[in-house]
Structure 1
Amino acid sequence: MTYFTCLFLDTEKDIIVSLYKELDKVFYVLSTPNHHTGNLIRNLARICDLPLSQNREGMLEIRGEVPCYVDSYNNESYIFRLGDVEIANIDKDGNVLMKAAIPAIAKTLMSQTKDYQLGLPKTIFKTRVRKEYKFNSDLHTHMNGNLPGDILIALGIYHQIRYPLYYVKKLELKLTEAQWDKLERQRAKVARQFVSSDLKGKYLDRRINDNTFINFADLILNNLDNAEMNIVKIRGSLAVIKDGQAVFTNLEKVYLYRYVFTKGAESEDKIPLNTAYLIPDEDVKKALMQMLRDRENPDYCNNTIFQDKLLWIARNYKRQGVCYAEISDTTLVKKYESLEMLKQVHAVMPSIYGETGVMIRFLAAMRRIPLTIVKDAITPANYLEQNLEVLRATALDPYVAGCDFVGEEINDIITLKPVFKELVKIAAADPSFVIRVHAGENDSLKDNISHSIACVKDCLAPGQAMPKMRLGHGLYTYSPRSKKGREVLKQLKENNIVLEFQLTSNVRLNNLNSLDKHPLKAYLKQGIRCVQGTDGAALYGTDSVDEQLSLAKMLELSENDLRLMKEAETGIIEEGQKAYSDKKAAFLSLVGKRDMEDVLLEKMKTVKIGKGLSGGVKRLDANTELKGQIKEITWDRVPVVLLGGSFNTEKRATRVTPEGEKQLDMLMKYLNPDEVCFVIGHKLSGYEKYLVEHNKKGFRIYAVVPALITKQEAVKLKEAGVYIRVSTEAEGMGIYKSFNYEIFERRPSMVVAFDGNSAAANLIQEAKNGKGQSAILIFSKSKTLLQKATSLHGYVYFFDGDAPITQKIKELSDKTLKKS
């Protein structure tokens, strides 16, 4: 058999169908090389009723023949089907016409579990949408998550960016001997700059490798023998993890990989790009060849990386039928960076709009909590005041549609109410100014939707109309049958709030484990305006069309539901286009013949809000308050992570039941304190408190605490006498990240979960994803964790009175012994 062609069943190129020809027959091999658990291909084979086989490397494959058909004009074509769904037509020259695909959300759910429950109709979709219901906007997306990996890789080659040695090693990229020699010589020079550094060991190595670079064009073009596999690895690093759901920690890491390209610095050591046509990846090559042609276009020949990023975002949107987008970007609240960004936007956007017909505007994004993933980044205490100082000026620009609160939703938005007072002042001067808040993304803060609305309403000046307001995600609030839930619905309707839904990112980021309780249809029925976004499509392997298909199919939206969403979207697009025109005229008048940057700098006035941001509760530095108890988790014992107290919503307490107490007593009696230690959260409540008070065998107990704690929490932790690990996260609901870093990524462990909300679900997902292998046991009576546990079928074990926890541990031990 000879290779014929190939096709991909998903946007991320994870499900590959390779086609081979023998005489006039075509055969296929379906493989999933980026998914190592085998769940994806096993589940796909099962729902399509197809046999599995193994290749020489032991990887699972689906093999079969693609039948040939002849039409009434005697034209031959091969039709590839899965189940009864026609996927693609392939002509005799190898040209492929795709008819259906597997959306990212279905792929994630298949990868997550050993027992996928959705059938073929919700797994493989026809890739078309009725024209009158087609969505034409992306109203919820993020600048550095927007472009697909292939485009970023092409941009990296075209602009010859510096690619850090750290990522070369992290991704295990293959280089030529000459490339390695050059990198080692450069690394030796860089290392000399750190001879007096206080950093040691792996931390020093990381810093040196982060500052040692190879020209990315050199990495690919002067290494063509390894280019195909290197591109696959780099592409994989630019999206969230493959084998199941991710959590916010994974998302932050992906952004770091993307920043190399989206915020890239060009290499000083340039090379000719005349071998670009030899790149083995067709999509990367096609994009790069277009970039080289753009070099001859006077509109684009001097484009910066940022301007080319905008150009390709618009081109991608045009391909998807999107004509209007509002992109969140934190650059617009940084003093000098915002001015440079807007200058570049004004220089290139007219040409981009002329070519594509896509209007791109921005939401100036402020972080609800400081970013902690960048270890050396120091966020000033008054960063929100600094953001507002800049926003007062950048909000005048016609390309700025409004503002946004971004970041993981682990704090009550009400603590930021003083910030809203300043935003409402901006909206008073500009009625088109949009205030958008990420709210209701997880189930830990069910007040955040109502609190977001209250933050705006309570800050209005007498007689001031409610500004344009949108809430991103809007998944979780109180039941509409409850008094609080009815009040939320009333506030949403009365204030004309728009809810934005991003189904794929909700699933892939572990915020949605069951589709049957999604609230979109209920909101539409109540007359609340709802629209779709992508949340940074490329991060999640989706796009605008894929997202709409997923919403429609997975949530079983009717044509009337789609019509209502389309009407809401059309109104917002028209408002946005008008706002741009009105603001452009006003901005030109404001600037006149002066330099735009000088005018905006003058408009940046100091803002003082600091006293009201604490939420009324003073918090202390945990490292200082608890320094006498801080100790590394011992390496001679297996950590048993106990969930049941610290990982709930802020206003929900764990109820300790007699059955739960009995299971915990049984666990403590069964385990040996010389072999295991316990790790808990910071609240010392619920089952955590029971553990501490009944620790008769003297188990070592470690409490992971946020960087900032209350006086009451400090006293309780001191009195308990537990050892302390201080998280880099300031908020209690973010400490699950430290469990991942200190335990799940490093060593074997056990998770025993009695109770918890989204923070507990995130910790459980981290345990499942971790390299250290973790046995996960969940109390079957925990309703809040049931959906998470069900989505991880085959990876978690339930315990209760009928299936005691010790029995489950013995079963797990027996399985481990059999494997070894």
Structure 2
Amino acid sequence: MTYFTCFFLDTEKDIIVSLYKDLDKLFYVLSTPNHHTGNLIRNLSTICGLPLSENDDGMLVIKGEVPCFVDSSNLEAYVFTLGDIEVASIFPDGSVDLKATIPAIAKTLMSQTKNYQLDLSKTIFKTQIKKDIKFRADLHTHMNGNLPGDVLIALGIYHQIRYPLYYIRKLDLKLTDAQEKRLLEQRAKVARQFVTSGLQGKYLDRRINDNTFINFADLILNNLDNAEMNIVKIRGSLAVIKDGQAVFTNLEKVYLYRYVFCKARESEELINLNNISQIPDIDVKNTLLQMLKDKENPDYSNNTIFQDKLLWIARNYKKQGVCYAEISDTTLVKKYESLEMLKQVHEVMPKIYQETGVMIRFLAAMRRIPLTIVKDAVTPSDYLEQNLEVLRATFLDPYVAGCDFVGEEINDIITLKPVFKELVKFAAIDPSFVIRVHAGENDSLKDNIAHSISCVKDCLLPGQTMPKMRLGHGLYTYSPRSQKGKEVIKQLKDNNVVLEFQLTSNVRLNNLNSLKDHPLKYYLKQGIRCVQGTDGAALYGTNSIDEELSLKKMLELSDDDLELMKEAENSIIEEGQIAYSDKKAAFISLVKNRDMEEVLLEKMKTVKISKDSSGKQKRLDANKELKDEISEITWDRFPIVLLGGSFNTEKRATRITPDGQCELDKLMDFLNPDEVCFVIGHKISGYEKYLIENNKKNFKIYAVVPALISRHEKDKLMAAGVIIRVSPEAEGMGIYKSFNYEIFERRPSMVVAFDGNSAAANLIQEAKNGKGKSVIFIWSHSQTLQQKANSLHGYVRYFDSENPIVNQIMELQNKLANNNSQ
């Protein structure tokens, strides 16, 4: 057999159908090389009723023949089907007409479990949407998550960006001998600059490798023997993890990989781009060839990488039938960076709009909590005041549609109420100004939707009408049958608040583990305006069309439901277009013949916002207050992570049951304190408190605490006599990340989960994803963890009085001993 061609069943190129010819017969091999657990291909073979086999590398594949058909014009076509769904027609000239695909949401759910529950109709979608209900906007997305990996790779080659040695090593990219030699020589020079830095070990290596660069074009074009595999690895680093659901930690890491391209600097030594046609990846190659054509176009010939990003974002939207987008970007609240960004936007966007017909506007994004993933970044305590100072000027620009609160939803939005007091002033000046809040994304802060609305309403100026307000995600609030839930519905309707839904990102970021209780249909029935967004489509392997198909198929939305969403979207598009025209005229009048940057700088005035207006007591620095109790988790004992108190919503306490007590007692009786230690959260409540009070065998108990704690929390921790680990996260619901850094990524462990909300679900997912093997036990009576456990079928074990945890541990020990003896 000879290789014929290939195609992909998903946007991320994870499900590959390779085709081979033998005379006039065509055969296929379906593989999933980026998914190493085998769950994806096993589940796909099961629902399609197709046998599995192994290839020469020991990877699971699905093989078969593609039948050939002849139509009434005597034209031949090979028809590839899965189950009863016609997926693609393959023609004798090698062209492929793809008619159905597997959306990212189905791919994630298949990868997550060993027992996939959805049927074929919710797994493989015909890629067609009725024209009259096709969405035309992306109203919830993020600047640096928007472009597909192939386009970013092409941009990196075209602009010959600097690519750090750190990522070459991290991704295990292959270099030529000459490239390796040059990099090591450069690294030695860089290392000399850090002799007096005080850094040691991996921290010193990281800093040196971060500042040692190769020209990215050189990496690909002068290394063609390794280009195909290097591109696959780089592409994979630009989206969230493949084998199952991710958590916010993973998302933050992906953004760091993307920043190399999105916030790139040009290399000092450039090369000739004369062998682009030899790039093995056809999509990267074709994108690059178009970029070279753009170089000859006077409209784009001097584009910066940022301007090319905008151009390719618009081109991608045009392909998807999207004509209007509002993109969140934190750059618009940074003083001088925002001015440079807007200058470049004004230069290129009219030309982009003329070519594509896509209008791109922006939401100035402010972080609800400081970013902690960048280790050396120091966020000033007055960062929100600095953001508002810049926004006083940038909101006047016609390309700025409003503002946004972004970041992981682990704090009550009410704590930012003083910021809203300033934002409503902008809305009083510009009635089109949109205030958007990421709220209701997870189940830990069910007040956040109501609190977001009240933050705006309570801050209105005398006589001011409610500004345009949108809530991103809107998944979780109180039950609609409860009084609180009914009040939320009333507030949403009375204030004309728009809810934005991003189904794929909700699933891939572990905020949605079951689709059956999704609230979208209910909201639509109640007359609440709802729209779709992508949340940064490329991060999650989706696009506007896949998102709409997923809403229709997965949530069983009717055409009437989609029509309601389309009407809400149409009104926002129309309002946005009018707002742009009105603001443009006002902006021209404001600037007149002066320099735009000079005018905006004059508009930036210091803003002071009140502190601690929420009535919360001042929080203390845990590193200072608990310094004598801080110690690294010992390496001579096996860590057991106990969940049952610290990982709930703020207002929900864990209820200890006699059966639960009995299981924990038996576990402590069984375990040897010389061999294991316990690791808990910071609240010292529920089963955590029971563990401490009944620690008769003197187990070492570590408590992971947030960087900021209350006086009451400090006193409880001191009285408990636990050993302390301080997380870089200031909020209690973010400390799950530290369990990942300190345990799941570094060593084997066990998780015993009695109770918890989204923070517990995130910790469990981190344990499943971690490099160190973790055995996960979940209390079968925990309703809040049921959906998470069900989504991880084959990776978690239930325990209760009928299935005691000690018996299961003994079974595992016996199995391990038998395997070792063999």
Contact 1:86 1:99 in 2 (8 A): yes
Matched, 1:665 2:665: yes
Matched, 1:808 2:805: no
Matched, 1:695 2:662: no
**What is the CA–CA distance in structure 1 between the aligned matches of 2:649 and 2:814, rounded to whole Å?**
36
Query: How does 1:81-120 map onto structure 2 within 5 Å?
Result: 81-120=81-120
Match of 1:422 in 2: 422
Matched, 1:296 2:329: no
- 1:615 Cα deviation (Å)? 5.0
SS in 2 for 1:20: strand
- 1:612 Cα deviation (Å)? 3.5
**What is the CA–CA distance in structure 2 between the aligned matches of 1:640 and 1:798, rounded to whole Å?**
16
Match of 1:576 in 2: 576
Match of 2:350 in 1: 350
- 1:521 Cα deviation (Å)? 0.1
Match of 2:186 in 1: 186
**What is the CA–CA distance in structure 1 between the aligned matches of 2:816 and 2:39, rounded to whole Å?**
20
Tell me which amino acid in the other structure corresponds to 1:509.
Answer: L
Tell me which amino acid in the other structure corresponds to 2:253.
Answer: K
SS in 1 for 2:640: strand
Match of 1:590 in 2: 590
Contact 1:643 1:680 in 2 (8 A): yes
Q: Deviations over 1:500-536 (max 9, x none)?
A: 0000000000000000000000000000000000000
Match of 2:313 in 1: 313
Question: Percentage identity across aligned positions?
Answer: 81
Match of 1:793 in 2: 793
Match of 1:452 in 2: 452
**What is the CA–CA distance in structure 1 between the aligned matches of 2:301 and 2:614, rounded to whole Å?**
49
Instruction: Please identify, of 614-623 and 18-27, the stretch whose mean Cα deviation from structure 2 is larger.
Output: 614-623
Match of 2:371 in 1: 371
Contact 1:382 1:610 in 2 (8 A): no
SS in 2 for 1:517: coil
Contact 1:125 1:549 in 2 (8 A): yes
**What is the CA–CA distance in structure 2 between the aligned matches of 1:815 and 1:507, rounded to whole Å?**
34
**What is the CA–CA distance in structure 2 between the aligned matches of 1:814 and 1:75, rounded to whole Å?**
63
Match of 2:783 in 1: 783
SS in 1 for 2:611: helix
**What is the CA–CA distance in structure 2 between the aligned matches of 1:459 and 1:674, rounded to whole Å?**
57
Query: How does 1:228-239 map onto structure 2 within 5 Å?
Result: 228-239=228-239
Match of 2:704 in 1: 704
Match of 2:139 in 1: 139
Q: Deviations over 1:104-162 (max 9, x none)?
A: 00000000000000000000000010000000000000000000000000000000000
**What is the CA–CA distance in structure 2 between the aligned matches of 1:62 and 1:480, rounded to whole Å?**
46
Query: How does 1:533-682 map onto structure 2 within 5 Å?
Result: 533-612=533-612, 615-682=615-682
Match of 2:197 in 1: 197
Contact 2:414 2:614 in 1 (8 A): no
Contact 2:326 2:360 in 1 (8 A): yes
**What is the CA–CA distance in structure 2 between the aligned matches of 1:612 and 1:141, rounded to whole Å?**
31
Contact 1:414 1:615 in 2 (8 A): no
**What is the CA–CA distance in structure 2 between the aligned matches of 1:669 and 1:537, rounded to whole Å?**
50
Matched, 1:719 2:724: no
- 1:541 Cα deviation (Å)? 0.2
Match of 2:19 in 1: 19
Match of 1:734 in 2: 734
Task: Indicate how the Cα distance of structure 1 residues 277 and 614 shifts in structure 2: closer, same or farther if over 3 A, else same.
Answer: farther
SS in 2 for 1:739: helix
- 1:461 Cα deviation (Å)? 1.0
SS in 2 for 1:227: helix
Number of equivalenced pairs: 820
Q: TM-score, length-normalised on structure 1?
A: 1.00
Match of 1:518 in 2: 518
**What is the CA–CA distance in structure 2 between the aligned matches of 1:818 and 1:197, rounded to whole Å?**
51
Q: TM-score, length-normalised on structure 2?
A: 0.99
**What is the CA–CA distance in structure 2 between the aligned matches of 1:611 and 1:457, rounded to whole Å?**
19
Match of 1:214 in 2: 214
- 1:811 Cα deviation (Å)? 2.4
**What is the CA–CA distance in structure 2 between the aligned matches of 1:600 and 1:436, rounded to whole Å?**
23
Matched, 1:531 2:531: yes
**What is the CA–CA distance in structure 1 between the aligned matches of 2:765 and 2:816, rounded to whole Å?**
21
Match of 2:163 in 1: 163
**What is the CA–CA distance in structure 1 between the aligned matches of 2:545 and 2:801, rounded to whole Å?**
48
Contact 2:164 2:211 in 1 (8 A): yes
Contact 1:144 1:536 in 2 (8 A): yes
Match of 2:244 in 1: 244
Tell me which amino acid in the other structure corresponds to 2:120.
Answer: L
Structure 1 unmatched ranges of 5 or more: none
**What is the CA–CA distance in structure 2 between the aligned matches of 1:190 and 1:341, rounded to whole Å?**
31
Contact 1:682 1:732 in 2 (8 A): yes
Tell me which amino acid in the other structure corresponds to 1:519.
Answer: P
Query: How does 1:478-489 map onto structure 2 within 5 Å?
Result: 478-489=478-489
Query: How does 1:457-496 map onto structure 2 within 5 Å?
Result: 457-496=457-496
Match of 2:121 in 1: 121
Matched, 1:260 2:257: no
**What is the CA–CA distance in structure 2 between the aligned matches of 1:110 and 1:657, rounded to whole Å?**
35
- 1:810 Cα deviation (Å)? 1.7
SS in 2 for 1:611: coil
Tell me which amino acid in the other structure corresponds to 2:202.
Answer: K
SS in 1 for 2:516: helix
Q: Deviations over 1:443-477 (max 9, x none)?
A: 00000000000000000011100000000000000
**What is the CA–CA distance in structure 2 between the aligned matches of 1:466 and 1:811, rounded to whole Å?**
61
- 1:818 Cα deviation (Å)? 4.5
SS in 2 for 1:414: helix
- 1:808 Cα deviation (Å)? 1.6
**What is the CA–CA distance in structure 2 between the aligned matches of 1:817 and 1:223, rounded to whole Å?**
47
Contact 2:453 2:491 in 1 (8 A): yes
Tell me which amino acid in the other structure corresponds to 2:167.
Answer: Y
Task: Indicate how the Cα distance of structure 1 residues 308 and 82 shifts in structure 2: closer, same or farther if over 3 A, else same.
Answer: same
